[in-house]
A = this chain, B = another copy of it.
Amino acid sequence: MKITLRQMEIFLEVAKIGHLTQVANDLGLSQSAVSMSIKELECILGCKLFDRIQKKLVLNEKGRAFMHAIEPLIKKLRDIEEEFMSQENKGELTIGASTTIADYIMPHIICEYMEKYPDVKISMKIGNTEEIAKLVEDGQVDLGYIEGEIQNFNLIMSPIGVDELIIVTGDKDLVRKKEYYIDNLLDYKWILREEGSGTRSVFLNKIKNHVTGLNLFLDLRHTEAIKSVLKETKGTLSCISKIAVSRNIECKELYQLKLKGFDFTREFFQIHHKDKYKSELFKKFSVFARYRFSEILNK
């Protein structure tokens, strides 16, 4: 036998008011219902909570302790109930994003969104495209943002913007030439993201039909790590997302090399599960993210 919320609410009311009859009226119940409810509660707890003193029920030491223990909890519970029934833009969204997006795009979007809707909590999981797809498929995250196409009929994917990969270096000497042919760059020290990364595979797939013998100098898991190597080591090159380096190019820490005959563009996708129930929160964030994505990528 367990105590119910109802019993506790009736108890609190009786504790406050002290007259069963009045409580019954207040709660729209018969007086006997209130009496029985209190009796039941005392029975479950195995102790009296009130002393019946001259027509009034007054809390005894146990009842007093019980009231102080449960009152704030019951109030909070009912507040929460109200809150959720009021259907506001409230909730805890989890999204997943692959590395480049997670590093250079999502943080802005999440920040802005949470500023706009302070009641929404957003947490982000990071992984490569496949990992994110898996999370979305299992329902672990509500929305995914990935860098490459995938085949999965449980997932609905929609393109949300075009990203451009560019060749960058920190070596000023390399900037003298206005354009390069890929063959002239093969012997420099190439630094790419690790195997399995979308950025890496796009680059290698595009050039593989044209060249062999790329001098693959180093694999790094983080774009920021690549950038710092580029800055410090002469003769190093990489192919990374334009948005990841635009800042560095602006302030001339890094330089873009024009490559003739290649176009390293790829699409970003938003994905969600086909069975996903689209709450207001979900829809709002989804729309917001798309909009901001296009702004960020086109600037």
A residues near B (Cβ < 8 Å) are 2-6, 8, 44-48, 51-54, 56, 58, 60-62, 64-66, 68-70, 73, 76-77, 80-81, 83-85, 87, 90-94, 121, 137-140, 142, 154, 273, 275-277, 279, 281-282
Contacts and interface: CB of A to CB of B under 8 A. Distances in A.
A20 to B, nearest CB: 15
Contacts of A58: 138-140
Given A2-B81, A139-B56, A94 B51 contact: no
A77 B73 CA distance: 7
Majority secondary structure, A binding face: mixed
B47 A84 contact: yes
A196 to B, nearest CB: 25
A65 B139 contact: no
A6 B4 contact: yes
Given A76-B73, A154-B54, A87 B275 contact: no
Residue of A68, A73, A92 with highest tally of chain B CB at under 10 A? A92
12 contacts: A3-B77, A4-B5, A5-B5, A53-B138, A53-B275, A60-B276, A60-B277, A62-B84, A62-B279, A65-B91, A66-B84, A73-B73
In order of increasing CB-CB distance, the 9 nearest A-B pairs are A58-B139, A61-B91, A53-B139, A64-B92, A65-B92, A65-B91, A61-B93, A48-B277, A69-B80
A30 B216 CA distance: 61
A146 to B, nearest CB: 18
